[in-house]
Structure formats: C-alpha cells, structure tokens
Amino acid sequence: MLKTFSKGGVHPPENKLSAIQTIEQLALPKTVSIPISQHIGAPATPVVKKNDLVKAGQLIAKSSGFVSANIHSSVSGKVIKIDSVVDSSGYKKQSIIIEVEGDEWFEDIDRTPELKKEINLSSEEIIKKVGESGIVGLGGATFPTQVKLSVPRGMKAEILIINGVECEPYLTSDHRLMLEKADELLVGTQILMKALKVTQAVIGIENNKPDAIEHLTNLTKQYQGISVQALKVKYPQGGEKQLIKAITGREVPSGGLPIAVGAVVHNVGTAFAVYEAVQKNKPLFERVVTVTGKSVKKPSNFMVRIGTPVTELIEAAGGLPADTGKVISGGPMMGHALSTLDTPVTKGTSGILILPEGESRRGKIQDCIRCAKCVSVCPMGLEPYLLMTVTELQNYERTENERVMDCIECGSCSYICPSNRPLLDYIRLGKTEVGKRIRTRKA
Amino acid sequence: MNDIIIYTIITVGAIGLVAAVILFFVAKKFYVEEDPRIDQIEDALPSANCGGCGYPGCRNFAEACVKADSLDDLFCPVGGNDVMKDVAKIIGIEAVEKQAQIAVIRCSGSFEYRPKTNNYDGAANCTIAANLYSGDTGCQYGCLGLGECVDACTFDAMYMDEKTGLPVVIQDKCTGCGDCVRACPKDIIELRNKGKKDRRIFVSCINEDKGGVAKKYCSVACIGCSKCFKECNYDAITIKNFLAYIDYNKCVLCRKCVAVCPTDAIHEINFPPRKKKPVNTKPTTKVEVKENTDLINIAKKNQNNNKS
C-alpha cells in the first residue's frame, strides 16, 4: 500500500503530455522584462539605470528586507527602461526591461557541465549564498529559500523533504528535471541538508512517474541519508502540509509552519537551483517551464531565461492553437489565467498551459444541493460550501471562526462541485477580508 | 368535557396573572434609565439603517448624538440638513450645516471607448475579480462592470447600463450614504458636494498611467495633459500621477476646464446646453487594441497561417 495523505483530495485526469520531451534550451528572446517582485515579500530595489550594460547573472535588483529576494539579469545586454509590465498576477508591476545583445555571462559563473560533489561551504555560508543568488521556492509559491533555511530559534529541523510530487495535471517540468539532472539535484539536496543540519532527506514522488522513482532510487545509493518515497497519485499531494503528512505521518498544526513538526519542504527545482548557486556560482536566472495543452502541436519542456515573454514559449511549442480558450500560467488546478500573452516568465512560472475553448469555460452556476462533496475532498478538513456562504453574507467573523485562513487554495472543492459553484473564488475573498481584519487587530 | 375547558381557562389565567404580577415588580426593580431623547432622535431619523453615518444603524447613531458634545462629526447623509436640525433641536446644541452630497462614477470606459482585451468568467463579484487581476480591459484602474456597487445600494439609486457596462447613479434617489463607495474595490466612486441646482463637474477617470498608455486602452481617459489645470483660475485642479482632480470645495462650476479637455474626461452634469458648440466633440474613433495583446486575434492569425 503506497503512502498518501489521509484527508480529502481528488484525482483529476493527469494529462502529462510532455512527459517524454527532454528539456530544450529556448532561444534567447530579443528583449526580456524582469519584474522586481517575483517572490512573496517585499519587492526588490533596482540597482541598475537606463542604458546600463549588464551581463547574465549580474545583480539588477537587491533584496529589500528579510523576506525578499535578489533579482539577477537573465541575459546580457542594455537596460532600455524600467517600466510597469503586466505579470502573471494580472497587475502591472515594475520591471527592468533589457535588450538582449549576445550571451555574455558574469565572470564568476562556472559554465562547465561537470558534476561537483564536494561541498566546501559551511551551513551559514550556504544560507548566505542561497540568499545572494535570489533563490525562491520554484514549486510556484516563490517563498524566499534562505528564509526557509533559517530555522527559528528554539526549533529544530529533523527531516528534509524534497518535493518531486508534481501533483498538478499537465505539468512535467519537475519530472524532467528529476530524470535529466538527477545527480545535480541530489547534490543540491545534500547542500540543503547541510544548511539545515539534518541527516535525513526523503524525496517524495508520485507513482505516475515510475521512471523518475527508479532512476533516483538507483542514484541515492551513492548519497548518504537520502531516500526516495513513492506516493499514491492524489491531488494536492504537493501541498507542503499534505506531503509532510504523507511521508512522516505528522500533522502541521492549524496556523503553524512545517518546522513545528520538524520538517522542511523544498521543491526539486529549488534543490537544483541551490546546486547551481552553491557549486557553480550561478544565480537563479533560468528555470524549466512546461508548455503544454491538448491542442498544442509540440508539448515541450524548455529551459527558459526569466523575463522571456510567454509568446516566445508558445511560438517554440508550435504556436497558439486556433481553439485557444485560456492560456494559464501554472497548472490547471492552481494556475492563473493570463490576461495578456506579453506576460514575462518569472521564477514561479512552472508551466504554460493552453486550454481549448470548450474545456476552459466555467459551467453554469447552480444552487448548492448539499451533497457535501466539497467537504469530503477538502484536504484541510474545512467546509467550503459554508465558507462560501458566510463570505457571501459578509459575516467575516464567522468566516474566520470556520478557519478560512487554513485554506491552501488547492481548488479541489471547485473542481468537484457538481453545481459549478465558485467556491474557491469566494473563499479567497474571505481570506483577503479576514487577513485584513487580522492585520488591523495586530496593528 | 366542559369541566376540562373551565379548569384549563382557570389554570392558564391564574399562571398568567401570577406571571404578570412578578413581571411588573421585576420591571420596576430592574428598570434601565434611558435617555428619552434617543427615542425622539430615532423617530426623527429616516430609519433606513444604511450605515452612511458610520454607525451600524439609526439607533446607534441616535445614541452617539446624545453622548456627543457637538455635531461636527455626526451627520446623517440621508436625512440631510433638515433632519440634523431636528436632531440638534432635540439635544439642544447647534447643528452643523453640510452640503448635500451625491455619488459620482469616475470611469467612463464604456464598451465603445475601452474595448475588452480578455474575457472574465469567474464569480460575478468585483472584489473577487479585483483580487484576481486588473480587469478585462487594458486599463487596470477602471470599472470592472460586475455591479457590486449596485448590490450595495440600499436605496435602489443605481443600476448597470447594459449598453456601456458601467453603473449609473439615479440622482433623485441617491442620498450620498456612501455604501457604494465602500463596496467598490477600485475606489472609482466618490461622494461629491452638490453644487447650485445640483450641478457638478468632475474628472471621470482615475487612471494614473502615463497619457499615452492610458489613451491606448481608453479613448476617454485622463491623460494628465494639464490643460484644465492651466485653464482653472481658482486653483481647484491638481494633477498627480498623470491624473487631474477637481476639488469640489474650490470649484466654482465655471465649466472652462470641461471645454478644454482633449479626451472629454471631465464631465458636467445638470448644466444647460452650451450656446456655442464645444470645441471638442466626443471622440468617436474606437481604440485599436494592439494585436498581440488579444488572444482571439492571435488565434485567428495562426489559423490563417495554417491555412496558407
């Protein structure tokens, strides 16, 4: 019997169309626009001006607080302007726009492909290096990694969990990374283990990726303390709290952080980025992005420079299909529909999903039939129908008491609802309103 | 049979009598001394319980009035000055005259002037849409057209115009309570003083983008050209972030700014028609949306490419 989390969950059609496509390097675009806010926390402060010449890997915006991240240029060329550009959040954000000239990298970066196994840095040095390299959680949440590595005083990390679940349908970027960059990933895991001072690391992978499980299991024999755990396919297993429950059986308390149960979770993409930063001196300025969809001519996995417009990726995957209904940044469950295709790829873009018109449209909203399917699939044990109702009635006190802040916004409730009710839409509204209340109470 | 009825009447009657006596003494003993003026004020108020005064309901407002030393911060926008005079008489202090206000919609981006660049199909709620993204047009400041203000209005003083996709305020019904102002997540609605004969002039736009960007997506946007600022002799107009704002306390309703606005972003309401035709007529040209921002156009283009 395979391990999985206990409460709720759904199993949408997997549709991993691009699983067999090897990672391709995407050609450099003509211009890139790099938003200064690609992470959770304070936006970075630009340190370049118009007409400055930059190299790939050069710092262009500096972290502006504890929860913030450095941003590096992904190309070499000239800064043409600093302007606001619509990013995947759908809002205009300050971005540094660079015209590409050649492909010159910053001198310190080691561009040789050799695997470097020995870790020379100490725990503190690793955390500092990770912070300097602007690494954020690449699973999609984009939380600055160095913050997660700095264990709060009085707490102790016992186990490192590497998230290779990729439970979102369609997406295959993590899957390909585990197959093609397995050694780098495992060294990255060891670096993270050293930074956290833990002796045990588990890589959680869902059972629909048997090749990755086999490949990594064979390789982990050479790496001490790392093991691979196959998991039953169930969404949202990639959620931090769900993955901890599935692997360790421990439950993160309501409102608490994973460190409360001694666990730290990092994505496989993050582990790879940490390897490159620590061993090769390469800051985070490119990532693997899946471009996929049923009507897409050539579903692919690309290694993309941050700031590349989404149009370029779609063009490389065979162009925008005629029946396009929505273009989504991320997966179908938690992704965000784009309002314009000029949106740049950011650190959190794990995939570009193109849904055909028929599939993308929302169904007609009908009355709640009290079937309680949303209750049974909620992985956090909440009552989505109730949260929606009390939010609609603007009874935010009740919304808070019904633990709306525990919602991880996985969308299982909206997915399963036979009446097509916009449950998550309202729950998000409830979260925003309750969040405001909590902040004013604290202030 | 008759006995049962009689006994029942006697028993229930006796219980009722005893309870009445107990309640009488309890009511005497635990009588809560309450200012009788609260009831009087409550009667004088419109009883709409709209919350426009900042209190949850009319009774709470009445309680606050009785406690207050002056009526500076207390005003019932629905009842207006007449009701406040009555209230002031009841508590024996002077009423503060305030100008009647009305809600104005500071967005004119109708379907015609501000074409859609994408389609929103989420929950029909402005706050939800605003949390998700900047809206279904190129303007990230403008009206989302999902009608949360209309739902919030207690007085049926608003409706959505299906032709323009924008809310409309019915001026005879609007009491200036401000419910719509609080409901709008984009801060588009503003309460403004009604001028002489209910006249008002305001900038019907809140777009803070640079002029070129604003005009690219909406032909009636304020482009921050400062023409109105230069024209105004009363310092009523300020320009901040490429956006003009008219201070209703300083504006004398001379209409000079309206005539010079190149995009017709400044609106005049309840004025007689001008003798001479204004220099600028409403722009009739539709905004051309850049092709690559439009998913549908790209799809069409690709389709054509595939055919050829």
Hey, what CATH topology would domain B36-91 get?
3-methyladenine DNA Glycosylase II; Chain A, domain 3 (1.10.15)
Q: Is B241 on the interface with A (CB under 8 A)?
A: no
Which of B117, B120, B126, B128 best probes binding to A when mutated, by most A CB atoms within 10 angstroms? B128
* Distance (Å) of CA A273 to CA A130, A148, A209, A286: 9, 15, 22, 9
Q: Is B154 on the interface with A (CB under 8 A)?
A: no
Count CB neighbours of A420 within 10 A.
12
Mean pLDDT over B83-87 rounds to 89
Contact across the interface for A319 and B131, Cβ inside 8 Å: no
3-state secondary structure chain A: CCECCCCCCECCCCCCCCCCCCEEECCCCCEEEEECCCCCCCCCEECCCCCCEECECCEEEECCCCCCCCEECCCCEEEEEEEEEECCCCCEEEEEEEEECCCCECCCCCCCCCCCCCCCCCHHHHHHHHHHCCCECCCCCCCEHHHHHCCCCCCCCCEEEEEECCCCCCCCHHHHHHHHCHHHHHHHHHHHHHHHCCCCEEEEEECCCHHHHHHHHHHHCCCCCEEEEEECCCECCCCHHHHHHHHHCCCCCCCCCHHHHCEEEEEHHHHHHHHHHHHHCCCCCEEEEEEECCCCCCCEEEEEECCCEHHHHHHHCCCCCCCEEEEEECCCCCCEECCCCCCECCCCCCEEEEEEHHHHCCCCCCCCCCCCHHHHHCCCCCCHHHHHHHHHCCCHHHHHHCCHHHCCCCCHHHHHCCCCCCHHHHHHHHHHHHHHHHHHHHC
Domain residue limits at A408:
373-442
Consecutive H or E run containing B259: helix B256-260
Contact across the interface for B134 and A341, Cβ inside 8 Å: no
Mean pLDDT over B207-235 rounds to 91
pLDDT in tens, A85-114: 888 888 888 999 999 998 999 988 998 888
Residue with the bigger pLDDT between A255 and B297: it is: A255
A322 CB neighbours in chain B (<8 A) are 299-300, 302-303, 306
Contact across the interface for B302 and A319, Cβ inside 8 Å: yes
Contact across the interface for B121 and A361, Cβ inside 8 Å: yes
A343 CB neighbours in chain B (<8 A) are none
Q: Is B308 on the interface with A (CB under 8 A)?
A: no
How close A246 gets to chain B, by Cα (Å)? 31
Residues A274 and A382 in one domain: no
**Range with the poorest average pLDDT among A129-133, B34-38, B275-279:** B275-279
Domain boundary pick from A232, A250, A280: A280
pLDDT, position A315 = 94
Counted across chains A and B, CB pairs separated by less than 8 A come out at: 69
Percent of chain B with pLDDT over 90: 44
Contact across the interface for A321 and B305, Cβ inside 8 Å: no
Residues A137 and A246 in one domain: yes
Contact across the interface for A432 and B127, Cβ inside 8 Å: yes
Q: Which residue from A89, A319, A365 is facing B133, i.e. has the nearest CB?
A: A89
State the pLDDT confidence band at B239, using cuts at 50, 70 and 90: very high
Domain boundary pick from A280, A314, A329: A280
Contact across the interface for A341 and B293, Cβ inside 8 Å: yes
pLDDT in tens, B137-161: 889 999 999 999 999 998 899 999 9
Mean pLDDT of chain A: 93
Contact across the interface for B117 and A322, Cβ inside 8 Å: no
How close B124 gets to chain A, by Cα (Å)? 9
Token pair of A282, please? 């390469």
Taking CA–CA distances from B301, the nearest residue in chain A reads A322
Domain boundary pick from A247, A264, A280: A280
How close B71 gets to chain A, by Cα (Å)? 28
Consecutive H or E run containing B201: strand B200-203
B302 CB neighbours in chain A (<8 A) are 319-322
Contact across the interface for B302 and A320, Cβ inside 8 Å: yes
Contact across the interface for A425 and B128, Cβ inside 8 Å: yes
If one counts the domains in chain A, the total is 2
ipTM of the complex: 0.85
pLDDT, position B302 = 54
At CB < 8 Å, which residues of chain A contact B?
Answer: 86, 89-92, 311, 319-324, 327, 336, 339-342, 361-362, 365, 422, 425-426, 428-429, 432
How close A346 gets to chain B, by Cα (Å)? 17
pLDDT, position B49 = 86
A156 exposure class (CB count in 10 Å sphere: 0-12, 13-18, 19+): exposed
Residue with the bigger pLDDT between A368 and B71: it is: A368
pLDDT in tens, chain A (443 residues): 788 998 899 999 999 999 999 999 999 999 999 999 999 999 999 999 999 999 999 999 999 888 999 999 999 999 999 998 888 888 888 999 999 998 999 988 998 888 999 899 999 999 999 999 999 999 888 999 999 999 888 889 999 999 999 999 999 999 999 999 999 999 999 999 999 999 999 999 999 999 999 999 999 999 999 999 999 999 999 999 999 999 999 999 998 899 999 999 999 999 999 999 999 999 999 999 999 999 999 999 999 999 999 999 999 999 999 999 999 999 999 999 998 899 999 999 999 999 998 888 888 999 999 999 999 999 999 999 999 999 999 899 999 999 999 999 999 999 999 999 999 999 999 999 999 999 999 88
B140 CB neighbours in chain A (<8 A) are 86, 91-92
A422 CB neighbours in chain B (<8 A) are 122-123, 128
How close A288 gets to chain B, by Cα (Å)? 24
A320 CB neighbours in chain B (<8 A) are 295, 298-299, 302
Which CATH number applies to B101-293? 3.30.70.20
* Distance (Å) of CA A121 to CA A195, A210, A265: 9, 34, 21
- Give residue limits of the domains in chain B: 36-91, 101-293
A361 CB neighbours in chain B (<8 A) are 121
State the pLDDT confidence band at B187, using cuts at 50, 70 and 90: very high
Q: Is B170 on the interface with A (CB under 8 A)?
A: no
pLDDT, position A241 = 94
State the pLDDT confidence band at B293, using cuts at 50, 70 and 90: very low
How close A392 gets to chain B, by Cα (Å)? 10
Which of A30, A93, A424, A425 best probes binding to B when mutated, by most B CB atoms within 10 angstroms? A425
Q: Is B292 on the interface with A (CB under 8 A)?
A: yes
A342 CB neighbours in chain B (<8 A) are 292-293
A428 CB neighbours in chain B (<8 A) are 128, 131
**DSSP assignment of B41-97, as one string?**
HHHHS------TTSSSSHHHHHHHHHH-S-SSS---TTTHHHHHHHHHHHHTSPPPP
- A392 part of a folded domain: yes
Mean pLDDT of chain B: 86
B145 torsion bin: left (phi>0), alpha (psi -120 to 50), beta (else):
left
State the pLDDT confidence band at B48, using cuts at 50, 70 and 90: confident
State the pLDDT confidence band at B291, using cuts at 50, 70 and 90: very low
pLDDT at residue B301 tops 60: no
How close A361 gets to chain B, by Cα (Å)? 7
Contact across the interface for A323 and B127, Cβ inside 8 Å: no
Taking CA–CA distances from A340, the nearest residue in chain B reads B293
Contact across the interface for B136 and A90, Cβ inside 8 Å: no
- Alpha carbon distance A311, A342 (integer Å): 6
Contact across the interface for B299 and A361, Cβ inside 8 Å: no
- A386 part of a folded domain: yes
CATH number for the domain that contains residue A255: 3.40.50.11540
A321 CB neighbours in chain B (<8 A) are 299, 302
Q: Are B36-91 and B101-293 in the same CATH fold?
A: no
Contact across the interface for A324 and B295, Cβ inside 8 Å: yes
- A265 part of a folded domain: yes
pLDDT, position B285 = 54
Which of B120, B140, B146 best probes binding to A when mutated, by most A CB atoms within 10 angstroms? B140
Q: Which residue from B128, B132, B299 is facing A324, i.e. has the nearest CB?
A: B299
pLDDT in tens, B107-121: 999 999 999 888 888
pLDDT, position B292 = 47
- A66 part of a folded domain: no
